[in-house]
Structure 1
Amino acid sequence: MRRRRSGAARRWAVVGSGVAVLLSLPSLIGALPASDAGTPAADLRRAALASTGVAFSGYAQAAGGLALPVGEQLTGVADLLSDRTTMRTWYRGPADWRVDVVSPTGETGVHADASGTWTWDYVANAATRTPQTALALPTAPDLLPSALGRRLLSEAGDGELSRFGADRVAGRDALGLRVVPADQASSVGRVDVWVDAASGVPLRVQVFGEAGGEPAVDTSFLELDLGTPAADVVDFTLPPAAELRAGQDPQLLQAATRGTRGVLALPDVLAGLDRRRIDGAPATVGVYGRGVTLLTVSPLPGRAAAGLRSALADAPGAVVDDLGVRIAAGPLGLMLADGPDGTVLLTGTVTLDALAAAAGELTGGTS
Structure 2
Amino acid sequence: MNIAIIGAGIGGLCAAIALRDAGHQVTVFEQAQAFMRVGADINLTPNAVRGLDGLGVGAAVREPAARPTHRISRLWDSGEETSRLAMGDSAEQQYGAPQLTLHRADLLAALASAFALEQVQFAKRCETIQQDDAGVTLTFVDGTHAQADLVIGADGIHSAVRAAMFGAEQPRFTGVVAYRAVVPASKVAHVPDLQAFTKWWGPNPESQIVTFPLNRGRDIFIFATTAQASWHLESWTTRGSVSELQSAYAAFHPDAVALLHACDEVLKTALYERDPLPRWTAGRLTLLGDAAHPMMPFMAQGAGQAIEDAVVLARALNLPDTDLAVALHTYQAARLERASQIQVGSRGNQWLKAGGNADWVYGYDAWNVALG
With structure 1 as the length reference, what TM-score do the two structures score? Answer: 0.24
Bigger strand share: 1
Q: Which has the higher helix share?
A: 2
